[in-house]
Structure formats: structure tokens, C-alpha cells
Amino acid sequence: LEHLLFKGTTRRTALEVNRAVDAVGGEFNAYTTREATVFYLRVPKPHRQMAIDLLAEVVVTPKLSPEDLEIERNVILEEFEAALDTPDDLVFMNLAEGLFPDHPVGREVLGRIETIEGLTAEEISAFHSSWYRPNRFVIAAAGAVEHDWLVQEADKFGDGLAPGLSREQPQNPDALCVTAARPIEQVHCAWGWRSPESGHADRFAQSVLNHVLGGGPTSRLYTEIREQRGLAYAVQTSHSSHSDCGSFALYLATAPRHLSTVRTVLEDVLGDLCASGVTEEELTVAKGYLAGSMLMGLEDSDARMSRLGAAFTGVGRVTPVGEVLTGLAEVTAADIQRVATTLFTSRRVESLVGPASAVAPFGSI
């Protein structure tokens, strides 16, 4: 659907839409995450009225023709096949499905091949009518724009539209290992745990934990696995928070002969973190990094716009910068140890992609 909305509206062709943006030196694009689809326009201030009008037209009144569906169906299938051929994409696709079984957050953003192949124009139109509703739109702007003007223009996105549908709640995962055999040289390994939602009180502690464990070149996993042992080139952790759930993951790629050693090292590092906590130096570095990187990110208007939209989509409010800085500053070593212990003693999902001989002992799909 994201692709089809760029194929024209009930009033303009795709060429006319693109020409309107090009004529003012603008940028018009979109992306889809596990919880939202985002359409964004960037134009010089004198053309903001054109931008908001065009954005509303594209999102609310798309053409959605069967001919365009066939073209974009093939594009998405090619994109999906490319993801399946990319081990570090596939390992996270399988990890998400294991963490959130039978729930949209666990499904690949692109969908499933059989679903994509079977979609009809009527189903696409029905989906648009059900989900592109006023109570689901979040309109965010940054730069040379006034709040009152944007509020007035926001009516263009909701005139005459009915409320949308409610969301499902994810089920807890079972502990498991998901493997995929591929004729490649390395084993791509990802571990994941369910974690709190985006508005949870422990969100700041979890961000600090992420940086201490695998957020950069001073992190424990990077130091232990790459710098001291040379067992992997890339090793990192990440956490994703949604409106009603979240996940924490670690990832690395290593030679098959090192897989057993790497898994033991991972267990040891996580165990030590839960048992002994973090040092004051680790805490200071992590909090300083997170605060500094956030402040530097605010220098970009696109980043500010994305921050506003993501905040309203996730928790229904924008957390003031000062509140974020205070939240980070108040994180203690005891908080990190408590959050780490809760997280890493919960049910874990493991995903492996690599040569059959390396992943076969863990099962296969």
C-alpha cells in the first residue's frame, strides 16, 4: 500500500504528483516500520501549503488501480527475495517471528510471499479504508512551520472519515531456537528477549543497558568478542520499543568453528552483568553518549519531525528534551543490574542462519 500511494490520486497522476514536488526542489518519500507507515514531504517554507495539500491528497484519496497493484506486487516480491538472500536480514526476520508469534509485530514488514502473491485490488482498498483513519493519523512537522497553522490544516486528513479498528495484544513467546540453513561462510546469530513498551518507566535504564552491553566500541560484547578474542567483526545489541511491547536483541556473525565458543562467551558476559552489574565508568560513558547523541540529533529538522511523530504514535505524547536528559541522568547502576536480570532471565529466542553443518544441531526450518 505504501508503494501504491505514490502511483497517483483520484485527481492527479503519479507524474503530476512528482512534478509538483520537483518544481519546488522538494523531497517526497515514505517508509514502513512494524507499527507505522510514514509519508513525509520536505519543501521550502513558501511552498508549505502545496506540501500539506499534496500529502493529504496522496494519503486520503489514492487511486489504487489493479494495474498498479500488479507492478508493485512484483517490486515487493523482488525486495522480499533480496531480504531472504541477506543473512543479517533473515536472522532478524526469524527472530521477530519467534519473539512475537501470531502477532503483527512478529511478521516481516514486507509481508509473506503467499500473501503478497494473493492480494487483490479490493483487499488493498478495504485495508486503506479500515486503517487510514483520522484516529490513526499523527501529523508532525518541524522547521519553518507554526503550530496553529498545522492544526488548522490537519482537518484535511480527517474530513468525513470514520474511526478505525482496534489493535491486538501480543502473546508471550516460548523459549526456542529458529535456524535457517544457507550455503554461506559465516553463521549469523541473534538472541532476543521480550522487553517493556516505549512508555515504560525502565526505558531509560534499558537504553543505558543497551549501550553498555553492545552499543559501541567500548561496550562489553564488542570488547570481549572482537577486541580481545577476535571471534567476530560485527557484534552489537539493539532494543525496539512499540506502543504495547518491545524487544531487546544481540547480534553477531562468526565462523562456524567459533560458534560454540561465541555462545559460551555470550552466556558468560550476560551472566556477569546480571551478577555484578556495571561500573561507574561504564554508567557515565553510556549516559553521556546517549545524552550527547540525542542533542546532536535535534540539529536536524527531519530528525525532529520523526521524533515527534514516533512519540505520539508510541505513547501519545512527546517527552520534553529536559525530561529525557533527567531520566538518563537518574539511571543508577542498581537500575541497570535489575533490568538486566529481569530481561536476561526471561524466555529467550535464538535465531541462526548459516551453513547446514553449523546450524543443524539446533534444528532447521
DSSP for 95-156, please give it. Answer: HHHHHSTTSGGGS-TT--HHHHHH--HHHHHHHHHHHS-GGG------SS--HHHHHHHGGG
* Structure-block grid coordinates of residue 202: 525502565
Structure confidence at residue 167 (pLDDT): 54
Strands (DSSP E) contained in 150-283 are: 176-181, 187-195, 235-241, 246-254
Specify the DSSP class assigned to residue 230.
-
Structure confidence at residue 170 (pLDDT): 54
User: Which entry of 2, 57, 197, 224 is annotated as an active-site residue?
Assistant: 2
Question: Of 203, 255, 196, 246, which is closest to residue 225 (Cα–Cα)?
Answer: 255
Structure confidence at residue 160 (pLDDT): 44
Structure confidence at residue 106 (pLDDT): 87
> Which residues make Cβ contacts (< 8 Å) with residue 77, sequence separation at least 6?
113, 116, 117
Q: What is the mean pLDDT of the chain?
A: 90
Residues of each domain in the chain carrying CATH 3.30.830.10: 4-99+104-157, 176-362
Write out residues in the chain with pLDDT < 70, as ranges.
158-175, 363-365
Query: Quick check: is 267 catalytic?
Result: no
Cα–Cα distances in angstroms (integers) from residue 41 to residues 8, 134, 140, 299, in the given order: 16, 19, 11, 18
Q: Note the CATH number of domain 4-99+104-157.
A: 3.30.830.10
May I ask the CATH architecture of the domain 176-362?
Answer: 2-Layer Sandwich (3.30)
Structure confidence at residue 162 (pLDDT): 44
* Structure-block grid coordinates of residue 142: 518541524
Structure confidence at residue 133 (pLDDT): 83
Cβ–Cβ under 8 Å, residues 192 and 99:
yes
Q: What is the pLDDT of residues 44-89, one digit of tens each?
A: 999 999 999 999 999 999 999 999 999 999 999 999 899 889 999 9
Structure confidence at residue 42 (pLDDT): 94
